């Protein structure tokens, strides 16, 4: 065949490749098993080839993913939530949402009893525990100075002329409770003597009658009842 006899043919993309013959090329190849490069590969061969030719980045990413899953298998879900990776590594905890719900309820209950000036102190707190811890640091009276101040208020307290007997007893009991919360112990006998010792002079007859009672009956409930009754008698007489 002379080269002059070869006429160029315009390639039509809609024409099947089977139209083009490779006989002359095949004849030049001595290998009977030779297949032309234009032969289409089977679909399963392509997928295997693609998996084998996976790039180094994809392989490294897959290994890192598996390593993270193994290394973090024993870590609490709160850690993943804080890091924002709980979903990406497949770690979720059904109890987390339940805990967040109850913690939110606790925060609402605590702050609902505060006024606006107090709430501003806890705006940066994210859990109920943080609010409680901050409340303790602000209002807890366990320092030595606070103990001294409470002792002073308790022993210097006297009944006001404007207070009723019930108010007087409540104030003494409140001071006694503050002493107990500061870590100081105080007996019921000391509280009773404080209530009696700070009464106005018009209650002197009750004090004398109280001292003659059986010690087993000398308790706060009995004293409160007797004082209220005595107050009613004095008010009626006046």
219-237 pLDDT, tens digit per residue, is: 999 999 999 999 998 888 7
In angstroms, rounded to a whole number, what is the distance separating the alpha carbons of residues 79 and 96? 11
In angstroms, rounded to a whole number, what is the distance separating the alpha carbons of residues 10 and 12? 6
Task: Answer whether residue 80 is part of any domain.
Answer: no
Domain identity same for 230 and 191: yes
Domain identity same for 220 and 149: yes
Domain identity same for 155 and 130: no
Among candidate residues 114, 113, 182, the one with its CA nearest the CA of residue 143: 182
Task: Answer whether residue 84 is part of any domain.
Answer: no
User: Of 139, 163, 195, which residue is a domain's last?
Assistant: 139
Task: Answer whether residue 7 is part of any domain.
Answer: no
Task: Answer whether residue 78 is part of any domain.
Answer: no
Domain identity same for 183 and 229: yes
User: Of 106, 139, 172, which residue is a domain's last?
Assistant: 139
Task: Answer whether residue 154 is part of any domain.
Answer: yes
Task: Characterise 29 by phi-psi region: left (phi > 0), alpha (psi -120 to 50), beta (else).
Answer: beta
Q: What rounded mean pLDDT belongs to the chain?
A: 72
Domain identity same for 162 and 184: yes
145-195 pLDDT, tens digit per residue, is: 778 888 899 989 999 888 999 999 999 999 999 888 888 888 999 999 999
- pLDDT confidence of residue 71: 56
The distance from CA 36 to its chain's CA centroid, rounded to whole angstroms, is 68
Domain identity same for 133 and 212: no
- pLDDT confidence of residue 66: 53
Domain identity same for 109 and 191: no
- pLDDT confidence of residue 194: 94
User: Of 85, 115, 139, which residue is a domain's last?
Assistant: 139
Give the CA count within 13 Å in the CB-facing half-sphere of 156.
6
Q: Are 59 and 74 in contact (CB under 8 A)?
A: no
User: Whats the size of the chain, residue-wise?
Assistant: 238
Domain identity same for 132 and 101: yes
Task: Give the residue numbers spanning the domain of 224.
Answer: 144-237
Considering the chain, what percentage of its residues have pLDDT values greater than 70? 58
Domain identity same for 186 and 220: yes
Give the residue ranges of the chain where pLDDT is below 70.
Answer: 1-95, 140-143, 238
Domain identity same for 114 and 193: no
Domain identity same for 122 and 159: no
Task: Answer whether residue 102 is part of any domain.
Answer: yes
Task: Answer whether residue 228 is part of any domain.
Answer: yes
- pLDDT confidence of residue 61: 45
Domain identity same for 99 and 171: no
- pLDDT confidence of residue 193: 93
Task: Answer whether residue 69 is part of any domain.
Answer: no
**Number of structural domains the chain divides into:** 2
């Amino acid at each position: 065949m002379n080269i002059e006899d070869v006429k160029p043919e315009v390639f039509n993309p809609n024409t099947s490749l089977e139209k083009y013959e490779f006989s002359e090329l095949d004849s030049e190849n001595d290998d009977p098993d030779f297949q032309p490069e234009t032969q289409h590969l089977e679909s399963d061969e392509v997928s295997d080839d693609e998996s084998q030719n996976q790039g180094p980045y994809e392989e490294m990413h897959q290994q890192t993913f598996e390593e993270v899953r193994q290394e973090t298998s024993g870590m609490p879900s709160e850690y993943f939530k804080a890091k924002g990776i709980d979903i990406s590594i497949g770690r979720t905890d059904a109890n987390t949402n339940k805990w967040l719900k109850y913690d939110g309820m606790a925060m609402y209950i605590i702050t609902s009893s505060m006024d606006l000036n107090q709430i501003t102190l806890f705006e940066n707190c994210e859990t109920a525990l943080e609010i409680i811890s901050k409340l303790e640091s602000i209002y807890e009276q366990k320092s030595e100075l606070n103990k001294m101040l409470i002792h002073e208020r308790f022993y210097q307290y006297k009944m006001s002329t404007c207070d009723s007997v019930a108010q007087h007893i409540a104030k003494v009991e409140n001071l006694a409770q503050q002493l107990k919360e500061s870590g100081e112990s105080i007996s019921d006998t000391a509280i009773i003597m404080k209530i009696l010792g700070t009464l106005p002079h018009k209650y002197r007859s009750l004090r004398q009658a109280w001292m003659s009672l059986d010690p087993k009956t000398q308790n706060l409930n009995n004293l409160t009842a007797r004082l209220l009754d005595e107050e009613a008698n004095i008010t009626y007489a006046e």
